[in-house]
Each structure stands twice: as structure tokens, then as C-alpha cells.
């Protein structure tokens, strides 16, 4: 059995991307599928990946963070496995061969179903001095569980849980969160034999301060996974409690000073100073103790407790009651007449095709997320002998010309008298769409303007959204599981995880 996986690399266009692509182009065995590079820069020219002996497909996200970039990446894949690589790792020359061997083991010996395989990672550090704070932070990747720097997942398992939680806006907890939702703490993810190197990137004075934003992500982790998530995620709790105490002392000092209570102000100031000195001492003692590193540690240690506290409060405000992540649909099925274009009964004339307002933009937003789109339409005019198949084709071609590509146009040509199962509210066309894409019914939506559209959805086990028009009957609106004023609103809801 051959092992099929697609490599997905989210990137901010850092120079390390080209080092990585070169390493993939120099593998001992050739890659089976094009590499998908997900360009997550908000703007700028398209990435020039240059002349490489491997196929690279570049997808742009417009920015949005690594969780969303990875989601867009895996939705573009069509293989049973997806292999995520961060854009700052360098795979060994045998990496791809070892990857295939790692995944083959999981396919050939499925005593227990395994959903993920993590690669081994090394962070080279200087051997002539102790590592800096920044270098130690990077080196901690070596022992971190379930990091996505080199992680392969079964695609259907990622899809089933709606992918990475895009409320994690930075590369910090989003990988541990997905791993836990996939059952990593129940043995669903193993470590393989393949190996990458993760060089330490250059840094500036303030990296450790910026990293405090991760405190807000910890609040989201707690909301999703409950107390005790640190242990389940094998994550360190860090110095949060000490930071809070230091910040509280500092706040006490300021408040007391303002209200003229000098003794209390002095006590608070001493408390703040003690906390700050302890933090700086700890960070300096573990490091190379050069003048530059000491300066950097003193500077940031004074600010880190307050920054950590601020981000904790920010996280509580934003995430304390966060609902489970649902993600967006993988497949959106669209009725044609009255949903995408004006309903012209029994139309066989492409010149009469008029898209409804905002539809093109709404569809393009779904396309940008990598959502698969199909049209599912009843054309009984063919069965009734009013128009020909060729006329119906010409109308569909015009729809595609105006509204962009669809993966398929699925059509029932029968009249109601034929009593077929493909005419909506029959489920057959939707089932056919699910079968041909391999998308699970839980991850698909059918959008239409009348009751038979949402009934077809129900019969096929997918979500239904009704967009009523003036022709839609009142009882159909009342019976619909979900209604929206138009496709624009329906897409807003889907992209917000409500569908
Ligand atoms: Mg319709
Ligand atoms: Zn039919």
C-alpha cells in the first residue's frame, strides 16, 4: 500500500523558507505530491519560490495567523495524510523516506488507531557558552509535546474536529490544543523516526516580552480543556503566579503613593523589586552573562510581570467562556435558481442569467478559505421537454463565468412524475457530492431558497440553511433549521462557525 501525504508549510516569507524548500528538493526519494506553501503575509508581492525540481503550490491567506494558515493549507490537500512543517525547520536528506516509513507503520499495524505522527527535532546551540534566554526558549521545542513544527495528521481526523482553533492567533498553544482534541493524551499521537533541525532565529530585545501574549492563549486552553490542561498537554505552567504577585505589589505601591500612604507604598515597591530581581537573577544565571544579555534580561524582567498580567486579563475578558471550536464547513452545496441567480422559471437562455447581489464576493470568501463548492440543482424543465440538456449546460456555463469555478454542478434533469431520488428533497445528489469528495456529512452544508433544499439536506444528514425569497412559503421558513437573509449573511455565519 502506498502512503499518500501532502506537505503543508505555513510561512511569513522568512528566508528560512527557501532553505527548507531546497532541503525538500534534495531528498533521497522524490516527493509524491506538490508541496503546499501557505503564504500568511497580509500583503506584498506573491512569493517567488523560484526554479525548484519539486512542485510547489502557493496559497495566499491575507494574514490571520498560523492556525488559519494551516487550516487553509490542509483544506487544499486531497491525500489521507497531511504533513505540516514550520518554515524554519531543515529536514534531513532522508526525511521524506523516513516520514513515509513512519506513516506506513501506522497504516500497517493499526492495533490502535493513531491519528498523528510527530517528527524528532533538534535545536543546535553554541557549545562555547551558555545559551541565551531566547536560545533556551527555542531549545524547549526539542522536548515539547505535539508541536506542529514537524507533525503529520490523518486528514479526516483534522476535518472532523474543524481543524486548528483560529482563536489562537499566534504560534503558541494552537498545536497542543488540536492534539488534545484529537486524543493525544489517550495515545493517539506517536513520535516517528524522521528528524529535522530547527536553527535559532535572530531575535531582538523584546521577544520575551512579546511572548507574554501567550498568557491569553492559556486562558483559552483552560476554557476549552478545563483545569488540569497543563498536565494533559505536557505544558509547563510557567511563572504566572509569581508574575501576578509582582504586579500586585507594583500596583499597591502606585495606589498607595497616590493616596499618600507612604509606608504601604514602600512595602509595595519593595515587593515589586524583590519579584523583579528574582526573575532577572533566575534568567541571567541560566545564561551566558554577557553585558548585552544582562542588559536585555534586566530590561525585560522589569516589564514581563506586568505584561503577563495584562495578557491574562485580556484573555479572561475574551476567552473565559469560549465555546468549543466548530470551524467552518469543508463542502458547501448551493442551490442555483433563487439562491445564486435570479429565478427565471424553466430558463434555457444564458443571456437571462443574473447573479443575486453580493453572491460572487461571498463565494470567493469561501474559496479563499479552501472550502469546496458545488451546485445542486433541480432542472425539471429538461424532463418536461421545455429545454434541452445543452441549453441547461449553456446556462450553467454562464453561471460559472459570472460566479467563478465550482467543483461540480450536480443536476436532476427529471420531472416530478419520474419519482427519482435525485430531485430535491431527495438526498441523492447531496450523497453523491459527499461520496465524490469524501467529506463527512457533519462537515457539509446545503444552502437553498425553498423547503425542498433544506429537506434534501436533512435527508442526506447535512446542515441546511434557508435563504427565503418572496416566493418561499411561510411554513417552509418556520420549518427551516436555520435561515439567513441572503448568501452574504449565510457565509458570514459559516465563517463564524455557525452553520
Ligand atoms: Mg431555488
Ligand atoms: Zn432526478
Instruction: Give me the domain span that covers residue 281.
Output: 204-323
CB count in 10 Å sphere of residue 201: 12
Note whether 155 and 79 are within 8 A (CB): yes
Q: What residues contact residue 5 under an 8 Å CB cut-off, 6+ apart?
A: 32, 33, 79, 80, 81, 82, 83, 99, 100, 103, 152
* Angle, alpha carbons 55-87-76 (nearest 5°): 50
CATH value at residue 43: 3.90.550.10
From the CA of 422, how far away is ligand 2's center (Å)? Answer: 4
pTM score, whole prediction: 0.93
Co-location of 173 and 33 in the same domain: yes
Which ligand is in closest contact with the Cα of 467? 1
Co-location of 67 and 156 in the same domain: yes
Note whether 90 and 197 are within 8 A (CB): yes
Rg over alpha carbons for the chain, rounded to the nearest Å, is 27
d(CA 369, CA 462): 20
Which ligand is in closest contact with the Cα of 427? 2
Note whether 24 and 35 are within 8 A (CB): yes
pLDDT, tens digit, for every residue of 180-238?
Answer: 999 998 889 999 999 999 999 888 889 898 989 999 999 999 999 999 999 988 888 88
Which ligand is in closest contact with the Cα of 469? 1
> At 349, phi and psi to the nearest 5?
-115, 110
Please name which of 420, 236, 451 lies closest in space to residue 335, comparing C-alpha atoms. Answer: 451
End-to-end CA distance of the chain: 37
From the CA of 327, how far away is ligand 1's center (Å)? Answer: 27
Residue 497 — pLDDT band, cuts 50, 70, 90? Answer: very high
Note whether 330 and 439 are within 8 A (CB): yes
Note whether 53 and 23 are within 8 A (CB): no
Q: What pLDDT is recorded for position 49?
A: 86
pLDDT, tens digit, for every residue of 405-455?
Answer: 999 999 999 999 999 999 999 999 999 999 999 999 999 999 999 999 999
Co-location of 189 and 215 in the same domain: no
Q: Which of 293, 323, 353 is a domain's end point?
A: 323
Q: In 272-310, which positions are buried (b, 16+ CB within 10 angstroms) versus exposed (e)?
A: beebbeebbeebbeebbeeeebeebbeebbbebbbbbbe
Residue 1 has pLDDT above 80, yes or no: no
From the CA of 376, how far away is ligand 2's center (Å)? Answer: 11
From the CA of 162, how far away is ligand 2's center (Å)? Answer: 32
Residue 112 — pLDDT band, cuts 50, 70, 90? Answer: confident
From the CA of 184, how far away is ligand 2's center (Å)? Answer: 45
Co-location of 129 and 21 in the same domain: yes
Which ligand is in closest contact with the Cα of 343? 1
Co-location of 174 and 236 in the same domain: no
H or E element: which one contains 328?
none
Please name which of 475, 460, 389 lies closest in space to residue 428, comparing C-alpha atoms. Answer: 460
| Average of per-residue pLDDT across 314-336 | 95
What DSSP character marks residue 139? H
Range from 137-146, 246-255, 366-375 carrying the lowest mean pLDDT: 137-146
DSSP state letters, 19-78: HHHHHHHT-SS--SS-EEEEE--SSSSPP---S-SS-EEEEE--S--HHHHHHHHHHT--
Range from 229-243, 244-258, 377-391 carrying the lowest mean pLDDT: 229-243
Instruction: Say how many residues make up the chain.
Output: 499
Tell me how far the alpha carbon of residue 184 is from its chain's centroid: 18
From the CA of 358, how far away is ligand 2's center (Å)? Answer: 30
Q: Which of 307, 323, 339 is a domain's end point?
A: 323
Residue 395 — pLDDT band, cuts 50, 70, 90? Answer: very high
From the CA of 429, how far away is ligand 2's center (Å)? Answer: 8
Q: What pLDDT is recorded for position 143?
A: 85
Give me the active site residues, please.
335, 337
CA dihedral 14, 20, 22, 26 (to 10 degrees): 180
CATH value at residue 371: 3.40.50.1000
pLDDT, tens digit, for every residue of 63-82?
Answer: 999 999 999 999 999 999 99
Which ligand is in closest contact with the Cα of 468? 1
* Strands laid side by side in the 116-122 sheet: 56-60, 35-39, 5-11, 81-85, 150-154, 116-122, 189-197, 90-91
Co-location of 342 and 491 in the same domain: yes
Q: Which of 274, 289, 323 is a domain's end point?
A: 323
Co-location of 367 and 261 in the same domain: no
Place of cell 506506513: 104
d(CA 422, CA 431): 9
Co-location of 170 and 290 in the same domain: no
| Overall domain count for the chain | 3
From the CA of 496, how far away is ligand 1's center (Å)? Answer: 25
From the CA of 440, how far away is ligand 1's center (Å)? Answer: 24
What is the 3-class SS of 338-366, one letter each residue? CCCECCCCCCCCHHHCCECCCHHHHHHHH
Sign of the alpha-carbon torsion through 169, 173, 176, 182: negative
From the CA of 428, how far away is ligand 1's center (Å)? Answer: 17
From the CA of 382, how far away is ligand 2's center (Å)? Answer: 10
Which ligand is in closest contact with the Cα of 420? 2
Percent of the chain with pLDDT over 70: 100
Co-location of 285 and 359 in the same domain: no
d(CA 122, CA 370): 33
> And the C-alpha cell for 387?
429545454
Co-location of 174 and 77 in the same domain: yes
d(CA 424, CA 452): 6
116-122 and 150-154 as β-strands: parallel, antiparallel, unpaired?
Answer: antiparallel
| 3-class secondary structure, 270 | helix
Co-location of 427 and 295 in the same domain: no
Cα atoms found within 13 Å of the Cα of residue 32, Cβ hemisphere only: 16
Co-location of 353 and 270 in the same domain: no
Amino acid at each position: 500500500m502506498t502512503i499518500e501525504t501532502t506537505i503543508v508549510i505555513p510561512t511569513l516569507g522568512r528566508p528560512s523558507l527557501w532553505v527548507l524548500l531546497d532541503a525538500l528538493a534534495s531528498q533521497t526519494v522524490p516527493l509524491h505530491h506538490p508541496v503546499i506553501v501557505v503564504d500568511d503575509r497580509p500583503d506584498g508581492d506573491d512569493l517567488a519560490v523560484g526554479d525548484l525540481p519539486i512542485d510547489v503550490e502557493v496559497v495566499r491567506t491575507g494574514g490571520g495567523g498560523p492556525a488559519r494558515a494551516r487550516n487553509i493549507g490542509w483544506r487544499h490537500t486531497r491525500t489521507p495524510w497531511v504533513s505540516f512543517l514550520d518554515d524554519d525547520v531543515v529536514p534531513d536528506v532522508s526525511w521524506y523516506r523516513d516520514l513515509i516509513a513512519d506513516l506506513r507503520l501506522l497504516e500497517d499495524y493499526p492495533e490502535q488507531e493513531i491519528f498523528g505522527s510527530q517528527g524528532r527535532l533538534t535545536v543546535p546551540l553554541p557549545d562555547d557558552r551558555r545559551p541565551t534566554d531566547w536560545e533556551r526558549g527555542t531549545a524547549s521545542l526539542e522536548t515539547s509535546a505535539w508541536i506542529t513544527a514537524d507533525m503529520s495528521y490523518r486528514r479526516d481526523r483534522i476535518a472532523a474536529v474543524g481543524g486548528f482553533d483560529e482563536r489562537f492567533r499566534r504560534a503558541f498553544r494552537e498545536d497542543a490544543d488540536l492534539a488534545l482534541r484529537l486524543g493525544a493524551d489517550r495515545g493517539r499521537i506517536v513520535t516517528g523516526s524522521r528528524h529535522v533541525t530547527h536553527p535559532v532565529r535572530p531575535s531582538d530585545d523584546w521577544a520575551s516580552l512579546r511572548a507574554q501574549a501567550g498568557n491569553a492563549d492559556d486562558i483559552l486552553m483552560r476554557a476549552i480543556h478545563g483545569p488540569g490542561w497543563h498536565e494533559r498537554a505536557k505544558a509547563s505552567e510557567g511563572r504566572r503566579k509569581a508574575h501576578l504577585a509582582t504586579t500586585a505589589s507594583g500596583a499597591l505601591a502606585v495606589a498607595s503613593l497616590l493616596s499618600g500612604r507612604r509606608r504601604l507604598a514602600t512595602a509595595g515597591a519593595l515587593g515589586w523589586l524583590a519579584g523583579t530581581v528574582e526573575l532577572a537573577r533566575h534568567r541571567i544565571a541560566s545564561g551566558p552573562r554577557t553585558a548585552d544579555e544582562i542588559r536585555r534580561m534586566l530590561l525585560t524582567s522589569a516589564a514581563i510581570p506586568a505584561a503577563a498580567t495584562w495578557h491574562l486579563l485580556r484573555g479572561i475578558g475574551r476567552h473565559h467562556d469560549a465555546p468549543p471550536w466548530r470551524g467552518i464547513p469543508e463542502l458547501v452545496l448551493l442551490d442555483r435558481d433563487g439562491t445564486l441567480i435570479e429565478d427565471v422559471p424553466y430558463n434555457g437562455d444564458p443571456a437571462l442569467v443574473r447573479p443575486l447581489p453580493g453572491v460572487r464576493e461571498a463565494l470567493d470568501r469561501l474559496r479563499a478559505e479552501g472550502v469546496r463548492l458545488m451546485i445542486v440543482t433541480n432542472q425539471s424543465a429538461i424532463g418536461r421537454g421545455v429545454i434541452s440538456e445543452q441549453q441547461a449546460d449553456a446556462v450553467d456555463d454562464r453561471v460559472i463565468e459570472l460566479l467563478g469555478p465550482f467543483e461540480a454542478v450536480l443536476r436532476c434533469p427529471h420531472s416530478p412524475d419520474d419519482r427519482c431520488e435525485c430531485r430535491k428533497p431527495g438526498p441523492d445528489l447531496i450523497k453523491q457530492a459527499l461520496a465524490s469528495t469524501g467529506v463527512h456529512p457533519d462537515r457539509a452544508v446545503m444552502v437553498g431558497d425553498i423547503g425542498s433544499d433544506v429537506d434534501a439536506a436533512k435527508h442526506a444528514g447535512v446542515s441546511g440553511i434557508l435563504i427565503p425569497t418572496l416566493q418561499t412559503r411561510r411554513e417552509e421558513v418556520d420549518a427551516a433549521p436555520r435561515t439567513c437573509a441572503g448568501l452574504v449573511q449565510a457565509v458570514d455565519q459559516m465563517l463564524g462557525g455557525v452553520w
